[in-house]
Amino acid sequence: MTLLDGKKTSEAIQQEIAAEVAEIKANGGKVPHLAAILVGNDGGSVTYVNNKVLACEKVGFGSTLVRYEDDVTEEELLNKIQELNESKEVDGFIVQLPLPKHINTQKVLEAVDPKKDVDGFHPANVGRMVAGLSSFLPATPYGILQLIERYNIETNGKHCVVIGRSNIVGSPMSILMAKAAYPGNATVTLCHRNTIDLAYYTRQADIIIAAVGIPGLITADMVKEGAVVIDVGTTRVPDATRKSGYRLRGDVDFDNVAPKCSYITPVPGGVGPLTIAMLLKNTLRAARNEVYA
């Protein structure tokens, strides 16, 4: 059994990006710049955005953090997005989700110029992905593809069972694993909350990608010997022995499932650390005008 080390992979990718930034600087080019819009003071969101800004500094990107109180109007937000769309300095930007209820999230996401949509949430990028055109891939699926690729995991002709159909993980993952490329060329089954007898499908899987948010949903009896298991779940469960009072648990019962696997991601330290690296990668691609060239 091999652990898929997301932390190590993420650091390697960030080092590659830093080297590219150093080269851009040496050639007198424009340094990539990421902006983030953060609304409100939700602890999780504040931490995520701060980590994204810190990661920018580490690889040598420019960064801008735009903060609003919870009561910001939709119009103010849309005006800021327009300003970032037109900015010569900002190559890519994200709007940290979730947004307060009085704001129409879809409208906000669709206001972002697809060429600067480094989260890959704009329908134009989703559509391009489905059509097999170059697009900004959402960070989590992009990170999973990197893990598969960097560990040389075979996907051609394999049965890949994706569990969860969210717009940001499960659905794009099912499309990417089926497309005619590597990683890809898999036979894909997409399971979700209406699936009858989930274990029937997972037992046949060569590759399981679980993005459900139910700790320990995937148990050892549901997994075939030698399977590749990728766990996207990160649910906070109470843990009195931790200073924070909680720990992260994946969708997979790691202790019992791991011995059966050829490869498995730990939680934490698996898919999670890759998301920031892939956001930086998308920003670099935006700065290079690679996606919409």
Q: Which residues contribute to the annotated binding site for NADP(+)? A: 164-166, 234
The one-letter amino acid at 9: T
Q: Does 229 bind ligand ADP (CB under 6 A)?
A: no
Least separation, in Å, of the C-beta of 83 and ligand ADP?
A: 29
The one-letter amino acid at 148: I
Q: Interface with ligand ADP by CB under 6 A: which range of 163-171, 200-208, 259-267, 277-285?
A: 163-171
The token duo for 156 is 């051609």
Q: Does 120 bind ligand ADP (CB under 6 A)?
A: no
Q: Does 97 bind ligand ADP (CB under 6 A)?
A: no
Pick the binder of ligand ADP from 40, 184, 213, 216 (CB under 6 A): 213
Q: Does 163 bind ligand ADP (CB under 6 A)?
A: yes
Q: Does 191 bind ligand ADP (CB under 6 A)?
A: yes
Q: Does 169 bind ligand ADP (CB under 6 A)?
A: yes
Q: Which is nearer to ligand ADP, 90 or 108 (CB)?
A: 108
Residue 68: DSSP 8-state: E
Q: Which is nearer to ligand ADP, 24 or 198 (CB)?
A: 198
Q: Which is nearer to ligand ADP, 19 or 199 (CB)?
A: 199
Q: Does 195 bind ligand ADP (CB under 6 A)?
A: yes
> Which residues have CB under 8 Å from 38's CB, separation 6+?
45, 46, 49, 65, 66, 67, 68, 96
The token duo for 49 is 């955005």
Q: Which residues are annotated as catalytic?
A: 52, 96, 119
Pick the binder of ligand ADP from 31, 65, 66, 198 (CB under 6 A): 198
Residue 112: DSSP 8-state: S
Q: Does 284 bind ligand ADP (CB under 6 A)?
A: no
> Which residues have CB under 8 Å from 198's CB, separation 6+?
163, 191, 217, 222
The token duo for 237 is 């469960």
The token duo for 112 is 């972002």
Q: Does 212 bind ligand ADP (CB under 6 A)?
A: yes
Give burial (CB, 10 Å; 0-12/13-18/19+) of 68. middle
Angle, alpha carbons 24-28-30 (nearest 5°)? 65
Catalog residues that contact ligand ADP under the rule CB under 6 A.
163-166, 168-170, 191-193, 195, 198, 211-214, 232
